[in-house]
Structure 1
């Protein structure tokens, strides 16, 4: 299975840090955020990675190269401007191929074991999501998990971690090169019962502000 790391966001909430450095290259615990993902994916057996980029994307390519230093092969999907999550994935489909693929947001930190995704996506499902506890900044949550089925609403709401497996067909309605959000596609698939998922109670941080970045850096350095 191929894996894609989403790294095209501008990181407005991280300014001024992201004025001259793309958010995925901001350092925590002694290494760039995106390198934590690459190392975790490599340890789980993923060898073919796709990374999209827009803002200061050449810096990402210069820092990571072809991935050989991490034991993986990296291909890049450049965007003239960030195309949102679904738009970025649709743009990268020629690199991702015809089989289901893993996607992880480049601006989160997690100790999730990516070997757990193997065999999770059902034959009749278009997506499979990892849900986590709601952080303070998303107290209402995103989706509900009932058994192994993810729905729009339920008695207990969770936050989407940014980790998911998708079939390419989910994005066939998105015009390549256009902006498109992921949530509407997922909600449409949920109404047909085609989204599965699991709850993850381990470490997960949405590194969306300088304060969260600083806190995570401190915690990793103290570990």
Structure 2
């Protein structure tokens, strides 16, 4: 099974840290954020990775290489100008193939067990949802007791930037910029999205202050 790590964004809210460093290469606990994902996906049984690049993408490829030092092959989907999440996935489909793949945002940190996304699932989309952080108190979606994800309903949880996707969801899209949320909502309307709640550690590294806080957490013995 393949996985894709989203790493093409500008990281504007992280400036000046991202003026010369792509956001996924920012470090916490002595390691780049994206390296935690690479190692966890490898240990979860993923065969190979696709990383999309945009802002300072050459630095990502130069730092991570072909994946040999991590023990997992890495391929790159170079976008130039970032295409948003769905557009980036659509551009990377030739590298991802026809089988379901795991998707992880490159600018998060979590203790979620990614091997749970490798297991076979019947739905085209399976999302991991987290407790709403202070900076996003309203959440994104509702998770039913039966494990279905809905656009409407209470209580609401936050999409954690992790999931399992069938590439057919993106195959009919034109190549170009496109957001993921409209596709997810359309799939939810067709009852095609399952989900699970991860109650453990989950960090959306959207500001330098959050990066510093995570760094302090990971530095603790």
> How high is the TM-score relative to the length of structure 1?
0.97
Q: CA deviation at 1:45?
A: 1.4
Aligned residue pairs, count: 220
Aligned to 2:96: 96
Supply the distance in 2 between the matched residues of 1:92 and 1:186 (Cα, whole angstroms).
18
Does 1:40 find its partner at 2:40? yes
**Deviation string for 1:140-185 (max 9, x for gaps)?**
1000101211000112100000001111111123212x10000000
1:47–1:71 Cα contact (<8 Å) kept? no
Alignment map for 1:62-211 (pairs within 5 Å): 62-122=62-122, 125-146=123-144, 147-176=146-175, 178-211=176-209
Q: CA deviation at 1:120?
A: 4.8
The runs of 4+ residues in structure 1 deviating greater than 6 Å are: none
SS at match of 2:135: helix
Unaligned runs of 5+ residues in structure 2 are: none
> How high is the TM-score relative to the length of structure 2?
0.97
SS at match of 2:18: helix
**Deviation string for 1:30-59 (max 9, x for gaps)?**
011100110111111112000000110010
Supply the distance in 2 between the matched residues of 1:164 and 1:60 (Cα, whole angstroms).
23
Alpha-carbon RMSD across the aligned residues, in angstroms, is 0.9
SS at match of 1:199: strand
Unaligned runs of 5+ residues in structure 1 are: none
**Deviation string for 1:194-220 (max 9, x for gaps)?**
000111111100001000000000110
SS at match of 1:95: helix
Supply the distance in 1 between the matched residues of 2:137 and 2:17 (Cα, whole angstroms).
26
2:102–2:118 Cα contact (<8 Å) kept? no
1:126–1:167 Cα contact (<8 Å) kept? yes
1:120–1:128 Cα contact (<8 Å) kept? no
